[in-house]
Amino acid sequence: MVGAGRIGTPLIRRLVAAGHDVLATDVRAERRPAVEQAGARWSDDVPAGAEVVLTVLPGAPELRELVLGSGRLLERLTGGALWIDLTSASPELGQECARAAAEHGIAYLDAPIGGGVRAMERGEVTLYVGGPGVHVDAAAPLLASFAKAVRRTGASGTGYLTKLLINLLWFGQAALTTEALLLAQRHGVAPEAMRDILLGSAGDSAFVQHHLPALLRGDYLADFGLDRCVEELDAVERNAGKANLPHPVMSAVTDLHRAALDHFGPVDGELLAAAWLELQAGARLSEDR
């Protein structure tokens, strides 16, 4: 396994708990104690001849460098090996990885993770898997050892695209809900009261049900970097442009997050676009209880 960060480390624990013998590596040698505490063996690099490799990296740039750049991951694998990437990347990069894997005789799946760190700790993540069905079938027992659900999406790259689209909708719901609650608050309707009204209404969403309470506590969800949010939104907006499809709402969501990144910098917080809206409004949703 390559990558022992926020989500990679609990993934190691789940794999070990399922009875797998895990050999893990990370570019940060200081991650070795965490890897060993999670029950895996440490390696300074991907061992030559590995039959199954999982990669879970911070984002597309790191994935590209590992596979298509100087990391030369595929050159260390033997023909017939299975490579499953769990990173959130772009569909274009997925297609590049699929071509490179095929040239080396490697079976490849893009299987980004939905649910986040806490869901991984509980074994409740969803995987969005792109790639040939025969490879998905071969990987199914391994994937089931740490994921609650495996959603087959189609050809290589569609797993990445599906994850990007789900995240786009979540970011958009978070932003528009923040705007709505700030307006309600300005007119005397408390944010908690407005959430209660939204539940079960036409304005309800997974964000309102599961994540809005964090925002109302002043928690901006620091499991993921704002720069990574923008990276994902840029990728899906770019894809829509290449497909020659209208995407004005998508662009508005992306521009809002870019503005938040310009203000706050590349810090952790998936809901910092909401914080940027609060800052412009001169009010915080977490202040009025």
Catalytic residue list:
163
Q: What number of other Cβ atoms are within 10 A of residue 30's Cβ? A: 7
- 94-119: b or e for each residue (b if 16 or more CB lie within 10 Å)? bbbbbeebeebebbbbbbbbbbbbeb
Burial grade of 251 (CB within 10 A; 0-12, 13-18, 19 or more): middle
Instruction: Fill in the amino acid letter for 35.
Output: V
What 3-state class would DSSP assign to 208? Answer: helix
The DSSP bridge partners found for residue 127 are: 113, 150
d(CA 148, CA 43): 28
d(CA 27, CA 39): 19
- 38-77: b or e for each residue (b if 16 or more CB lie within 10 Å)? bbbebbeebeeebeebbbbbbbbebbbebbbeebebbebb
Long-range contacts of 177-183 (CB under 8 A, 24+ apart): 177/203, 177/205, 177/207, 177/208, 177/212, 178/215, 178/273, 178/274, 178/277, 178/278, 178/285, 179/277, 181/285, 182/277, 182/278, 182/281, 182/283, 182/285
